[in-house]
Amino acid sequence: MSARLLIDVGNTRLKWTIADDSGLLTPVQALAHGGDPAALVEWLPLPDGLHDAWIANVTGEAPGERLAAALSIRHRLQTRFARPVDGLAGLALAYPEPTRLGVDRWLALLAVWTRERAAACVASAGTALTFDAVDSDGRHLGGIIAPGLFTAQAAVLGATRFAASGPSQHYTRGLGSDTDACVRQGALHACAGLIDRLAARHPGTRYLIGGDAGTLLPHLDGVWQLQPDLVLSGLATLARS
């Protein structure tokens, strides 16, 4: 049975796993890439016998090409980049131009749809906060893109003259009692409130992914499934297809 390398290059981290032909994944590992994912290739402890590499990349064409070249030189791997495809596995995309949909959002939806074949929504909490919904017929209903927790704080602090120390992750469930805490809590309630508002309008299983998913989860209403590796699961589905 052949094995392949799956890589998810997000805005801040590179995540990778090994998948066999059945879609079974090894434990996912992650490293911050600092804007240059190719520089991490020599540090990836990859096994021998890999068939190829599939990449989901949101950092732009140039960093992606450097990553592919590094994998070819260092590990002799043929690389393929994931691109959104309308109708794959019965998932009909809302975007008139499917390639303009973020590949990470599409792969997460693909994983959810092929797993559930039912209505569902996916919220991703990272540098950006995104939300997408699919109905019981496999129709992508669209989504939103908004500032994530850190990005929202940075936006407020960058546009004001508040005497604050900067973005932080020290959240509570209530209100802030100083400027730093008020900015943090504003970001938290904005992100959590937006997700709750949209989830209430779109029935189905709720999935939460992204680097800040664990931080947001305790502040959300309803039942959410924390699925940090959903993009890689979708990538495995794509590679098998």
Q: CA 237 from chain center: how many Å?
A: 16
Beta bridge partner(s), residue 82: none
What's the rounded Cα separation, in Å, for the pair 150 and 119? 30
**Residue 133 phi, psi (nearest 5):** -130, 145
* Total count of residues recorded for the chain: 241
Tokens, residue 44 = 């990836």
Q: For residue 195, which of 136, 230, 146, 229 has the smallest C-alpha distance?
A: 146
Phi, psi (degrees; rounded to nearest 5) at 39: -65, -15
104 is catalytic: yes
- Tell me whether strands 120-125 and 128-134 are parallel, antiparallel or unpaired: antiparallel
Of 8, 104, 132, 212, catalytic? 104
Residue 109 backbone dihedrals phi, psi, to 5 degrees? -65, -40
**Residues that are catalytic:** 104
